Amino acid sequence: MRTYRTARTARTVRPSRLLVAAGAALAALSLTACGDGTGTKDEGAAHPSVSVAEGSQRTDAGKGTDTDTGTGGNQTSPNGQTGAETSAAAGQQGRSAGQGKGTVDQASKKGGAPLASANRVTCNGSNTAVTMKPVPRPLNHMLITVKNTGTKVCDLYYYPTVRFDQVQWAPRVMEESQPQAVVTLAPGESGYAGVLLSAADGSGENGTTAKKVTVGFQGRESGSNGGAAASPALPAKGVYYDSTLAVTYWQSTIDDALMY
């Protein structure tokens, strides 16, 4: 009897094991189905998270964000600037370019771009107004003023050649007054030169009084003829000068012209 009950019990247990195995197989099938994207509604609920992430990437892309780096709208460029800084720099460059253009336009209003050879001529008596007047300080000095009355930029080369009356000899040139660059005059601007008439201590020789003066201009080559000379009016009483007569190079300011 004991043997029979044991065998019966064994037959009773086997169906239970089959049910457990069948349940495990169904679970496996269910997991496999989930892996195929056909899972339960709970799995489907996870998809909105992915959609939100994708939507965020699309939104960032619309703002110019590099979604590969994930740095947002303020990325750092190779030169160390952020995206905002780079945009600001670009704007500044645009403003600078605008300012540069304005400067060129102003130069054009004064006769064109100064560096354009077609817009540059030599200053002389035909395109300038020339005056020559005594000054209170320094003593025994006169100031030559040349104003560009033309429509083009003109250059004052070297120094003026000053001739009183019919005198043929040229006055001494104050070499120490030579500027670093040629004096260039836009239309309406003026250049200057100083003239030492006589020695303040009376050491000069052959003093005389002149009633007329001629101011000549030089070209690009030293000593060359720069064009028409000018004959500015002198004071009615004339101008006294002696052997110490000297002139400066052309200068851009009155102070520079009268400091020698």
**Among 165, 237, 234, 236, CA closest to 206:** 165
Both structure tokens of 143? 């100031």
Angle at the Cα of 225 from the Cα atoms of 222 and 230, rounded to 5 degrees: 120
Residues in CB range of 66: below 8 A, 6 or more apart: 75
Question: Tokens 């836009």 correspond to what residue?
Answer: 186
CB of 150 closer than 8 Å to CB of 121: yes
DSSP-assigned states of every residue in 15-26:
HHHHHHHHHHHH
Top-confidence range, 19-23, 108-112, 212-216: 212-216
Contacts of 186 (CB under 8 A, 6+ apart): 107, 110, 111, 114, 148, 153
Q: Tell me: the pLDDT tens digits for 71-123?
A: 334 433 333 444 444 444 444 444 333 333 332 333 334 444 555 677 899 99
Label residue 219 by pLDDT band (50, 70, 90).
very high
